[in-house]
Amino acid sequence: MTSHANKFNKAADAIAFDLNHRQTIQFNISKYNLAVEKGRERYYDLSLAKTRAASIKRYMLSNWDTLLCQFEENALKNGMQVLWAKDTQQANEYIRQIVVDNHAQLLVKSKSMTTEEIDLNTVVEKIGCKSVETDLGEFIVQVAGEKPYHIVTPAMHKSKADIAKLFNKEFNTPINSTPEEMTDYVRGVLRKQFTTADIGVTGANFLLADIGGVAVTENEGNALMSTSFPKIHIVISGIEKIIPSMAHLGLFWPLLASHGTGQQITNYNSIFTGPRKKNEVDGPEKMVVILLDNGRSELFSDNDCYEALACIRCGACLNACPVYKTIGGYTYDTTYSGPIGSVITPFFRGFKDYGHLSFASSLCGACAEVCPVKIPLPKLLLQNRKKSVEKDLRPLTETLAMKIFSLASTNRIAYDRVLPLFKNLAFAPFNFILWGPKRKMPTFASKSFSKRYRKDKKNEEKK
């Protein structure tokens, strides 16, 4: 087993029975569930909306290169600069260059998982430019020196008391501060940063091919603040975020909101089509869009998992997943966690180190059920498992156990010949090691089903 898989198992073991963690996550997700239920009711036909979205995203995938070129062409016409980054290193090289060229001292960042993927904060700070997270959840984890716990709700693992304690330690705010007071405190601190920053960075929820636009969805207003004051706006977007037309936002905005937070529509849905225009009174002088590949085109060449590129990062599969709810976001040790993270991360960072994630699923199917773009996640997890086995990446004990089991169980007569008592004895060590001491494996019955069936049938015939 690789060190990553070992670490994963240890972390999962530890946190699965951490009752504080469990309570916080259950509380937060129950609130999410309530909101989502309300959000679903806002639709006349949610299932049709999902079918349409799924279809548009599949259309996007079959015309991916054409749409990307169309986006670039229109974005350039709009006065944006478009940079293609094949990997993290290249994306960071672009950003470093922009920071250096513009002598930037302060960068404000609105919430974006893509910037987490490339670890932008570290890169920028290394060259002396301060990088400030402005989304409240991201701000909290940045202050705590942590990474986002959840792709939509970064500080989901913290209770309000945890955060009040953290703020008290770092900013000397009252130890019993309410969420309102803490939000207001951060608002005050960050307003000064927004208005004096040199660069504003956002992600993109959708790239609009037909108008060369970038759509950003948010609730707090930090993305709008980040793009209204600084003189440079940098967008970092995965190349799979593209959709054919601006008109499709009428479908995708409410769908993202209802699945991400349960709102009918997110508070601010903005479309950026460039830097400040000649007839406009304010806005950035420069807008740069970095199109990040970083394994996505690799994922595209996979016959099964390419569909994961339809993802709109709503986070619904995380909240629905019993494994995520038990082991939490950090155990995955990836940028993207939960079912979708388990599918795509092995392609981004290698099956050797991250293949084990696809095994961390009960394949219950809840993720596929809630997915707004109909990604068949359990099927893709299974395909990934198959790849791990074929690549010979599974632990030796498991491989052996599976071989013995397949030998024993594929021969009915031989299988029946072994007494149940011996079967139970033979399986006990595997159950203990692989299934874990905290779970109870059902035991073999004293008489197997086939034996009972045959006997009953005989009795039946006698009558």
Residue 89 within binding range of other proteins, rule CB under 8 A: no
Residue 187 within binding range of other proteins, rule CB under 8 A: yes
Count of CB atoms situated within 10 Å of the CB of 431: 16
Which range in 291-299, 325-333, 339-347, 383-391 contacts other proteins by CB under 8 A? 291-299
Residue 69 within binding range of other proteins, rule CB under 8 A: yes
Phi/psi of residue 130, each to 5°?
Answer: -75, 135
Phi/psi of residue 220, each to 5°?
Answer: -85, -25
Tell me how far, at minimum, the Cβ of 143 lies from other proteins, in Å: 12
Q: What one-letter code names the amino acid at 286? A: K
Residue 266 within binding range of other proteins, rule CB under 8 A: yes
Residue 253 within binding range of other proteins, rule CB under 8 A: yes
Residues from 43 through 62 that contact other proteins (CB under 8 A): 43-46, 48-49, 51-52, 54-55, 58-59, 61-62
Nearest CA-CA partner of 131 in 237, 230, 274: 230
Packing angle of the helix pair 249-260, 46-62 (nearest 10 deg): 120
Q: Exposed (0-12), middle (13-18) or buried (19+): which is 427, by Cβ within 10 Å? A: middle
Residue 103 within binding range of other proteins, rule CB under 8 A: no
- Beta bridge partners, 202, equal 235
Within 8 A by CB and 6+ apart from 366, the residues are: 317, 320, 321, 322
Which range in 25-33, 313-321, 354-362, 414-422 contacts other proteins by CB under 8 A? 25-33
Q: State which of residues 84, 185, 430, 444 lies at the interface with other proteins (CB under 8 A).
A: 84
Which range in 272-280, 376-384, 420-428, 453-461 contacts other proteins by CB under 8 A? 272-280
DSSP for 70-133 reads HHHHHHHHTT-EEEEESSHHHHHHHHHHHHHHTT--EEEE---HHHHHTTHHHHHHHTT-EEEE
Helix (H) / strand (E) containing 8: helix 3-16
As a whole number of angstroms, the distance between CA 25 and CA 11 comes to 16
As a whole number of angstroms, the distance between CA 395 and CA 140 comes to 38
Residue 173 within binding range of other proteins, rule CB under 8 A: no
Tokens of 174: 């009252």
Site string for other proteins, 414-453 (x = CB under 8 A): ----------------------------------------
Within 8 A by CB and 6+ apart from 370, the residues are: 259, 316, 317, 319, 320
Tell me how far, at minimum, the Cβ of 45 lies from other proteins, in Å: 5
Compute the C-alpha angle 443/445/450, nearest 5°: 130
- Could you tell me if 251 and 52 are in contact, meaning their C-beta atoms sit under 8 angstroms apart? yes
Q: State which of residues 11, 106, 143, 265 lies at the interface with other proteins (CB under 8 A).
A: 265
Which range in 31-39, 357-365, 377-385, 426-434 contacts other proteins by CB under 8 A? 31-39
Residue 117 within binding range of other proteins, rule CB under 8 A: no
Size of the site for other proteins (CB under 8 A): 106
The nearer residue to other proteins, 58 or 385, going by C-beta atoms, is 58
Tell me how far, at minimum, the Cβ of 58 lies from other proteins, in Å: 6
Tell me how far, at minimum, the Cβ of 118 lies from other proteins, in Å: 14
Residue 234 within binding range of other proteins, rule CB under 8 A: no
Residue 90 within binding range of other proteins, rule CB under 8 A: yes
Q: Radius of gyration (Cα) for the chain, nearest Å?
A: 25
Residue 201 within binding range of other proteins, rule CB under 8 A: no
The nearer residue to other proteins, 268 or 430, going by C-beta atoms, is 268
The nearer residue to other proteins, 148 or 360, going by C-beta atoms, is 148
3-state secondary structure of 360: coil
Residue 293 within binding range of other proteins, rule CB under 8 A: yes
As a whole number of angstroms, the distance between CA 369 and CA 170 comes to 42
Q: State which of residues 64, 71, 324, 332 lies at the interface with other proteins (CB under 8 A).
A: 64
Q: State which of residues 1, 11, 106, 211 lies at the interface with other proteins (CB under 8 A).
A: 211
Residue 321 within binding range of other proteins, rule CB under 8 A: no
Which range in 10-18, 40-48, 352-360, 391-399 contacts other proteins by CB under 8 A? 40-48
Helix (H) / strand (E) containing 22: helix 19-41
- Could you tell me if 217 and 205 are in contact, meaning their C-beta atoms sit under 8 angstroms apart? yes
Residues from 346 through 375 that contact other proteins (CB under 8 A): none
The nearer residue to other proteins, 128 or 250, going by C-beta atoms, is 250
Residue 179 within binding range of other proteins, rule CB under 8 A: yes
